[in-house]
Structure 1
Amino acid sequence: MSRKSLAKRLKLARPFLAVIVLQFGFAGLNIILKFALNQGMSQHVLVVYRHAVATAVIAPFALVLERKTRPKLTSSVFTKIVFLGLLEPVIDQNLFYTGMKSTTATFAAAMSNVLPAFVFIMAWIVRLEKVNIGRIHSQAKILGTIVTVGGAMFMTLFNGPVLNLPWAKQDNHIDSTKGAHNQVSIKGALMIGAGCVSWSSFIILQAITLKAYPAELSLTALICLMGMVQGSAVALALEWGNPAAWSIHFDSKLLAALYSGVICSGLTYYIQGIVMQDKGPVFVTAFNPLNMVIVAIMSSFILSETMYLGRVIGAAVIVAGLYMVLWGKSKDEPTSESIGKRVLASENEHMTEMNENISTSKRDLLVVAVDGARGRNTEESV
């Protein structure tokens, strides 16, 4: 394989590798967050610390690397950034963390798999996603969206028998008495679902904002700054009279703030923006099932979480639906062969047009020559 061919393949694989790395980052976050929340950390304070860390890490890079390319910050773009800071850093994360407290890390990760379905619907509405009902790949995207939401509802409403994994040493009696009310509460599931709607809105608005403000690092820093400011107001209101909620030491709480700020806010918003400009918002979220698989394996080992058959079935349904959407999405993108055929057809059409123009010119010249000859013959006869 030539170096040029290898470089081309790496360039094509780069968006796939980027979103896979993001899913590993999210999987680690779910485990660390669940552990910190179990240790009593306030989810509202965590949101503030997370984006304070992200702002401190990303802002210097944005100031230096984009000082010459950063576009003007108009009032329209600033308004969008305020809403971006409210949608994901504040609304989504507060709802998601609160829902995770009453469920499990695996369940929260599985519920977040409805994200691509919501993103697809919203992208369709705002015309960021093309849908032709008469085409098979568009029908696959629509059907996959319905299947995904159905799988999430199945996971929420049906547990089924416990899967006795040898490494998940947990008291089944305690789990059976608390399961319905503690680990898989309907309230927690609804909060996670509402958070996913807000997260989807954030992704769509980010894609729209990047068209007017194509500076990924600067946009990331501003979103994190807005999230910190607005999240502080929410945390102060909800944790009023509880100063102990703001205390932090060298423990899992500090690790959660640092990890979530650097990996899952700073780097994620930046990488997500780059991939989104090339592949679109639906592609960015289509790999969420990988997050669920990683979390399920890690949480059963690290947190000894109980696995239920209903969750496994629901997760399988979600994965099937999501990859129907992904398959349909892949058919939207023109292949190199179709592009080649299109270019060849265009060239043939252009050549035909040139030949017709040449033939017309020759015919016109012949007519002029004949008319000139007739004129000379007439003059000679006279």
Structure 2
Amino acid sequence: MKEKKPFLIVILIQAIYCGMFLLSKAALDGGMNNFVFVFYRQAAATIFLAPLAVFFERKKALPLSLVTFCKIFLLSLFGIVLSLDIYGIAIVYTSATLAAAITNCLPVITFFLAVLLRMEVLELRTIAGVAKLAGILFCIAGAATLAFYKGPHLKFFGQHHLFGHPKLEDHLVHLPSNKAWIKGCFLFLISSTFWGLWLVLQAPVMKSYPPKLLFTTLQCFLSSIQSFAIAIAFERDPSQWKLGWNVRLLAVAYCGIVVTGLTYYLQAWVIEKKGPVFLAMSTPLALIMTMFSSAILLGEIISLGSLLGGLLLVGGLYSVLWGKSREQKVNGGSSLTVEGDKESSELKEEVASKNPPPLFV
């Protein structure tokens, strides 16, 4: 049972992300304003994490310089608020399945940005370098397929929405227009790019403020204020700010507490036991779960283009991961174990500091 535990945990993690995609889509389909949703989500995460940060890391708290505060402020604005706001608009234009598919693109985008910022090296004279380049190309091809090719529609069981939004029932059997779909794909890529930049630029900022949980809580707090300012500017209707005992409250609580809180510990545990590559390779599970769940529960229609695009994105993900793994083995020798343990430890701390998007995150 101990050997099977990591596999069960990664399945649970991806199931949690599947629930995030579905509940986010359901809440927005039900008429909830996207900007309001992001504010409530970040506020819930802040309320959940603040007591934990004070309890576990109050003795590690360091003086926060103005420069470091400004860096964290900008990280929160671009990496969390704008990323989530754009993601929410994109999922309204498209589907939960596409949101899950684009998640597989995030590691590739992050690697590409790291190469551009000279934080990663791409050696095209090696097999590993070629594999990583192929992964980037697969990712581009997958994104293009998702955006510009639909193909035949695949229907699963009935086209019934679990939450039964009356205004949507007549439109469930139709996919979004080509223009809206392409716009949604483009926005998803922008959102993933912002999130990828957040992942890449977060590491140097964390060096000046090491307490991971306090760092995460501060970002959640700042993003709550920033998202509130954006939400109040775009939504003045008081009825849109009411949650009630419905899918809106469920989505906010789930994304703010379960996704941010529970997966924080589960991902760190998996990385400690099996390493970061094992966790990353489980990402396509969320796509498979979301594809079937959204078709059955939300009445979404899956197209052949979505399937092909998703497969290309998964192929790109695995190609980059394989290239990275091979590169580590080639650089290894006797130092491989030490380097791997160091990287695993660092990535464990990174995961512990992340507030997952949609997305990936």
With the length of structure 2 as denominator, give the TM-score of the two structures: 0.80
Cα separation, partners in 2 of 1:180 and 1:36, compared to 1, 3 Å: closer
The question of 1:78 aligning with 2:69 is answered yes
Segments of 5+ residues of structure 1 without an aligned counterpart are 1-5, 344-382
Q: Which residue of 1 aligns with 2:88?
A: 97
Bigger helix fraction: 1
Q: Which residue of 1 aligns with 2:254?
A: 259
Give the one of 26, 33, 58 matched to 1:42.
Answer: 33
Q: Which residue of 1 aligns with 2:354?
A: none
With the length of structure 1 as denominator, give the TM-score of the two structures: 0.76
Amino acid of the residue matched to residue 186 of structure 1?
Answer: I
The structure with higher relative contact order (CA 8 Å, sep 6+) is 2
Aligned equivalents of 1:129 and 1:259: distance in 2? 35
Aligned equivalents of 1:275 and 1:215: distance in 2? 21
Aligned equivalents of 2:12 and 2:203: distance in 1? 20
Whether the aligned pair in 2 keeps the contact of 1:289 and 1:319 (CA below 8 Å) is yes
Give the one of 101, 124, 141 matched to 1:150.
Answer: 141
Aligned equivalents of 1:195 and 1:72: distance in 2? 32
Whether the aligned pair in 1 keeps the contact of 2:43 and 2:256 (CA below 8 Å) is yes
Give the alignment's Cα RMSD to 1 decimal. Answer: 3.5
For the residue of structure 2 that corresponds to 1:333, the secondary structure is: helix
**Equivalent residues, number:** 331
Alpha-carbon distance, 1:333 to partner: 2.6
For the residue of structure 1 that corresponds to 2:251, the secondary structure is: helix
Aligned equivalents of 1:168 and 1:125: distance in 2? 44
Aligned equivalents of 2:197 and 2:238: distance in 1? 33
1:11-70 Cα deviation digits (max 9, x unpaired): xx97x8876654332211010111111111111001111111111110111111112233
Aligned equivalents of 2:279 and 2:79: distance in 1? 15
Aligned equivalents of 2:204 and 2:235: distance in 1? 34
Q: Which residue of 2 aligns with 1:245?
A: 240
Whether the aligned pair in 1 keeps the contact of 2:128 and 2:322 (CA below 8 Å) is yes
1:260-316 Cα deviation digits (max 9, x unpaired): 111334455677789999999998766532321121121122112111111111111
Q: Which residue of 1 aligns with 2:152?
A: 161
Q: Which residue of 2 aligns with 1:60?
A: 51
Aligned equivalents of 1:283 and 1:202: distance in 2? 22
Structure possessing the higher radius of gyration over alpha carbons: 1
1:140-187 Cα deviation digits (max 9, x unpaired): 01111111121111011111011132355699x9667x4251896222
Give the one of 320, 333, 342 matched to 1:325.
Answer: 320
Of 324-333 and 246-255, more deviation after overlay is shown by: 324-333
State the percentage of identical aligned residues.
Answer: 34
Give the one of 225, 228, 235 matched to 1:232.
Answer: 228
The question of 1:305 aligning with 2:297 is answered no
Whether the aligned pair in 2 keeps the contact of 1:31 and 1:295 (CA below 8 Å) is yes
Alpha-carbon distance, 1:123 to partner: 1.5
